[in-house]
Amino acid sequence: MSFLPSLSTEELHHYHRVVTHSVDVRSHFDMLIWLQGDMQKYLPHDILIASWGDFANGAVQHDILSAMAGVRSHASHTEPLTPLLVSLFERWTSFGKRPFSLNAGQSGFSMDDAGLKSALGGALLKMRSATVHGITDERGSHDCLYVVFSTQELFSEKERNAMAVVLPYIDTALRQVEHLPHQANIGAAPATADTPALPAEADVLTEREAEILKWVALGKTNPEIGSILDISAFTVKNHMQRVFRKLDVSNRAQAVGKFRAWVSHV
């Protein structure tokens, strides 16, 4: 069944409100909050990887968007990820450039040996399914491939169809975000010892703390976050107190501000 015809009138209005928020995206933080908010209703995922360039010769760049701690663009060099992206691009092309899903089972998705040592490599091993779709940019003379990974066992046909419908909005939103330094030129050299140090927050927050802070940034209260994560509001409060100490802030607004600065650098 096609995605949009399956929605009720009320659901169509909600869908329209969600996708039109794409015009408001201006930063990686805006993009992350949008994708991790109501967009999850239509495209549930834990990691989104956007890639573009010349897949035929492996000259590919990428962006990684995820609420998982450490799973960020800055922490993943292109080289270990490129073979996986090229393989998925070739499969997408062989399928007539239509969205398709993969079920990785308990083995997860794997990069090469170097990539496995990264936060992204570890996270991909935890993913159980993926949906892939792309956009051919005839004017820009390159292709864009989007892959969403999830810990759920599989993507439904409705979710796969939704990928085709929402992808143009995701693509448009990401095109409004300024390139990160390492994306300035395709084929640029990887980061060296002279590269500025990453924000300390990327290393000190645990995965659970980053997850809770993500929901705080979305405006959720401690009881709401507790309900979402199936933990008590008291536990959420304890996590936030540790976040305050680690980020050297005194309130939620300051913590979100530092979170925004962190994501804008990744």
Q: What is the pLDDT along the chain (266 residues), one digit of tens a residue?
A: 478 888 899 999 999 999 998 988 988 888 988 998 889 999 999 999 999 988 988 888 899 999 887 788 766 666 788 899 999 999 999 999 999 999 998 889 987 665 567 888 889 999 999 999 999 887 767 789 999 999 999 999 999 999 999 999 999 999 888 877 656 544 443 333 333 333 444 457 787 888 888 888 878 889 988 888 888 999 999 999 999 988 888 998 888 888 776 655 54
Q: Domain check: are 147 and 235 in the same one?
A: no
Q: Which residues contact 69 (CB under 8 A, 6 or more apart)?
A: 119, 202, 205, 206, 207, 209, 210, 211
Whichever domain contains 11, its CATH number is: 3.30.450.80
Q: Residue 192 falls within a domain, yes or no?
A: no
Q: Residue 158 falls within a domain, yes or no?
A: yes
For residue 197, the model assigns a pLDDT of 39
Select from 122, 154, 183 the last residue of a domain: 183
Q: Which residues contact 13 (CB under 8 A, 6 or more apart)?
A: none
For residue 40, the model assigns a pLDDT of 93
pTM of the model: 0.72
Contact yes or no for 174/63 (Cβ under 8 A): yes
Please give the order of strands across the beta sheet that includes 129-137: 59-66, 47-54, 142-150, 129-137, 100-103
Contact yes or no for 108/52 (Cβ under 8 A): no
Range of the domain at 221: 201-264
For residue 191, the model assigns a pLDDT of 39
Strands (E), the chain: 47-54, 59-66, 100-103, 129-137, 142-150
For residue 182, the model assigns a pLDDT of 59
Please state, in angstroms and rounded to a whole number, the distance separating the CA atoms of residues 160 and 96: 15
Q: Residue 227 falls within a domain, yes or no?
A: yes
Number of domains in the chain: 2
Amino acid letter, residue 188 = A
For residue 181, the model assigns a pLDDT of 61
Q: Residue 129 falls within a domain, yes or no?
A: yes
Q: Domain check: are 211 and 90 in the same one?
A: no
Q: Residue 46 falls within a domain, yes or no?
A: yes
